[in-house]
Amino acid sequence: MPTSPIAVPTDFETLRTTIVEQRATLPKRLMQVAAYALDHPDEIAFGTTASIAAAASVQPSTLVRFAQHFGLDGFSGLQQIFQARLRGRTASYEDRLRQLESAGAAETESGTILKGFIGAAHQSLDALSAAIEPEKLEQAVDILARAETIYLIARRRSFPVVTSMAYALGKLKIRCQVVSSAAGNDDDLLEQAGPRDAAFAVSFAPYAPESAAQARALADRGIPVVALTDSALSPLAGIAQVWFELMEADHAGFRSLSASLAFAMALTVSVAERRRQL
């Protein structure tokens, strides 16, 4: 049974929020399971207790204790939450479009779809100002403004955020380097980073392991990392000198980058302004 009276989570987002709220008090092994679960939700959805326990480096009984801590009957109850999340979040694009049609979007076609995405964008942008702490923003701006070269790290859905920044930084005559390259020489690019440089890394669940590894490689060499992610349990949160948590709203399972792009552009322009003052 749970160690403290909490509402039993019935969906992934509620479970995720509860985990983040309890991250400071969760026992070490349960926190280990929590970090693995949020980093690898697909594995939790379809793995066995033995395979998940081995991957998370815990005993199978720890998975049961983790589920019971949050009021669930056991591992099967936990797995059902992750399976439901997978059906809703990672459905094929065809399935998502069918979901829109079943909700009546096909009746007015593109207009209704557009309104849905505008609504999700508004939700994300409304949450942006509350999500960003001014003191942390100033600290991040100072780190990046003092860097000779800003290394931009992202993969998959996060990649447009850093490419947008790279374009703007180039226009502002600020030296930057997008680490991911078609030539596959990412490690060589990272080797060029020196103590007077800095990095900006972006990764959202399910987190790209390459991004975390690259950010960690720079941080281990004393190069400051600023990060944008969506959870306190994100691997970037434990690596970055300054990190920001931002959750994008979605429409019919499609998650946009409205708030992330707005934040990235604000950060870029703020860095340019700070550099003029140095």
| 75, 151: one domain | no
Q: Tokens 């400071």, residue?
A: 24
Question: Coil, helix or strand for 244?
Answer: strand
The answer as to whether 20 is a domain residue is yes
Tens digits of per-residue pLDDT, 76-123? 899 999 888 766 544 444 555 555 555 554 455 677 788 888 888 888
Q: Provide the residue range defining the domain that includes 72.
A: 12-89
The answer as to whether 111 is a domain residue is no
| 148, 257: one domain | yes
The mean pLDDT value for 27-56 works out to: 87
The answer as to whether 57 is a domain residue is yes
What is the pLDDT, as a whole number, of residue 90?
Answer: 44
| 212, 261: one domain | yes
More confident: 129 or 224? 224
What is the pLDDT, as a whole number, of residue 124?
Answer: 84
What is the residue-averaged pLDDT of the chain?
85
Phi, psi of 173 (to 5 degrees): 60, 35
| 71, 132: one domain | no
| 78, 192: one domain | no
| 31, 159: one domain | no
| 264, 169: one domain | yes
Tens digits of per-residue pLDDT, 148-187? 999 999 998 899 999 999 999 999 999 999 997 666 677 7
C-alpha 15/C-alpha 38 separation (Å) is 10
C-alpha 165/C-alpha 152 separation (Å) is 8
Our count of domains for the chain comes to 2
Assign residue 5 a region: left if phi > 0, alpha if psi is -120 to 50, beta otherwise? beta
The answer as to whether 248 is a domain residue is yes
| 82, 203: one domain | no
The answer as to whether 105 is a domain residue is no
Nearest to 199 by CA among 221, 168, 170: 221
| 139, 272: one domain | yes
Token pair recorded at residue 91: 């459905």
What is the pLDDT, as a whole number, of residue 169?
Answer: 96
| 182, 254: one domain | yes
| 78, 132: one domain | no
* Residues ≥6 apart with Cβ < 8 Å to 63: 33, 49, 52, 53, 56, 75, 78
Q: Which of 39, 70, 89 is the last residue of a domain?
A: 89
Token pair recorded at residue 80: 């059902």
The mean pLDDT value for 231-255 works out to: 84
Question: Does residue 213 surpass a pLDDT of 60?
Answer: yes
The answer as to whether 235 is a domain residue is yes
More confident: 21 or 150? 150
| 83, 197: one domain | no
Omega within 30 of 0 (cis) for the link into 9: no
Q: Which of 42, 67, 89 is the last residue of a domain?
A: 89
Q: Which of 39, 65, 89 is the last residue of a domain?
A: 89
Q: Considering all CA atoms of the chain, what is the largest pairwise distance in Å, rounded to the nearest integer?
A: 58
Question: Coil, helix or strand for 190?
Answer: helix
* Amino acid residing at 45: A
The model's pTM: 0.66
Instruction: Give the domain CATH number at 35.
Output: 1.10.10.10
The answer as to whether 249 is a domain residue is yes
The answer as to whether 35 is a domain residue is yes
Strand runs labelled E in 124-252: 150-153, 176-178, 198-202, 225-229, 242-245, 250-251
Question: Does residue 3 surpass a pLDDT of 50?
Answer: no
Positive or negative torsion for Cα 109, 116, 15, 55:
positive
Instruction: Give the domain CATH number at 263.
Output: 3.40.50.10490
